[in-house]
Amino acid sequence: MAISLNKEKLRTQECEKLQEVSGTNVYSCYQCGNCTAGCPCVDAMDIPPHEVIRLAQFGQIEKILDSNTMWICASCVTCSVRCPRSVDISGVMEALRQIALQNGNEDVTKLGELSSEELEELPQIAVISNFRKLTS
């Protein structure tokens, strides 16, 4: 299915929020691919980092949130450090995690109620994001 673009779909609230929370301008990205090239986790991601930014430019936040990418991201910040356009990709990843956690849920990760097996499975980064979600 073709992405159908218009100015409303591009400038969605989610997209504005993503930029606000991450403090980065996704339109600075010129799709060089450096972020993806250096990412240690890219092989396990549904959507590689540069494409996350691309989809954000098209306002396709839903599509990104449907992927596993931001949960796989290790927050190593390699991408943000190397980006020639100073796009804070890892900041975008963190913002995506927070948006996902905030979306319609008061508290999805009732940590105390999780079994030890579940805790084993849960990416640590999700736990950290969960702690941070209401502070940023």
Partner 1 sequence: MKKIGVFLCHCGINISATVDIEKAMEALKDYPGVAHIEDYKYMCSDPGQQLIKKKIKDLGLDGVVVCACSPTLHENTFRLTVKAAGMNEYKMEMANIREQCSWVHKDKTVATEKAIKIIKSVIEKARLDEALDPIEVDITRKAMVIGAGVAGIQTALNIANSGYEVILVEREPSIGGKMAQLSETFPTLDCSQCILTPKMVEVSNHPKIKLMTYSEVVDVSGFVGNFKVKVKRKATGLDWDVCNGCGLCTEKCPKKLPSEFDQGLGERKAIYRPFPQAVPNRVVIDFENCTYMQSGKCGICQKVCPVKAIDFDKEDKFVEEEVGAIICATGFETYSVKDIPEFGGGKLPDVVDGLTFERILSASGPTGGEVRRPSDGKVPKDIVFLECVCSRDPEHYLPYCSKVCCMYTVKHAMLYKHRVHDGQPYVFYMDMRTGGKGYEEFYQRAAEEDKVVFIRGKVSKLYQDDDKIVVCGVDTLSNETIEIRADMVVLATAIVPSKGIRELTKLLKIQIDQHGFLSEAHPKLRPVESLTAGVYLAGCAQSPRDIPDTVSQASGAASMVCTLFANEKLKHEPIIVGVNEDICSGCGICTVVCPYDARKTNLEKKLVEVNEVLCEGCGACAAACPSGAAQQNNYTDNQINAMIKAILGKGG
| Interatomic CA distance for residues 1 and 15, integer angstroms | 21
Residue number, 18 or 130, with CB nearest to partner 1: 18
The least CB distance from residue 32 to ligand SF4, in Å, is: 4
> Is residue 73 a contact residue for ligand SF4 (CB under 6 A)?
yes
Binder of residue 13, out of ligand SF4, partner 1, none (CB less than 5 to 8 A by kind)? none
- CB neighbour list of residue 122: distance below 8 Å, 6 or more residues apart: 109, 114
Binder of residue 6, out of partner 1, ligand SF4, none (CB less than 5 to 8 A by kind)? partner 1
Residue number, 84 or 136, with CB nearest to partner 1: 84
Phi and psi at residue 32, to the nearest 5° = -75, -25
**Count of residues for the chain?**
136
Binder of residue 25, out of partner 1, ligand SF4, none (CB less than 5 to 8 A by kind)? partner 1
CA 11 to each of CA 30, 45, 85: distance values in angstroms, whole numbers, following the listed order: 18, 26, 21
| Interatomic CA distance for residues 36 and 19, integer angstroms | 19
Phi and psi at residue 8, to the nearest 5° = -65, -45
Binder of residue 5, out of partner 1, ligand SF4, none (CB less than 5 to 8 A by kind)? partner 1
The least CB distance from residue 15 to ligand SF4, in Å, is: 15
| Tally of CB atoms within 10 A around 115 | 8
The least CB distance from residue 113 to ligand SF4, in Å, is: 28
The least CB distance from residue 86 to ligand SF4, in Å, is: 8
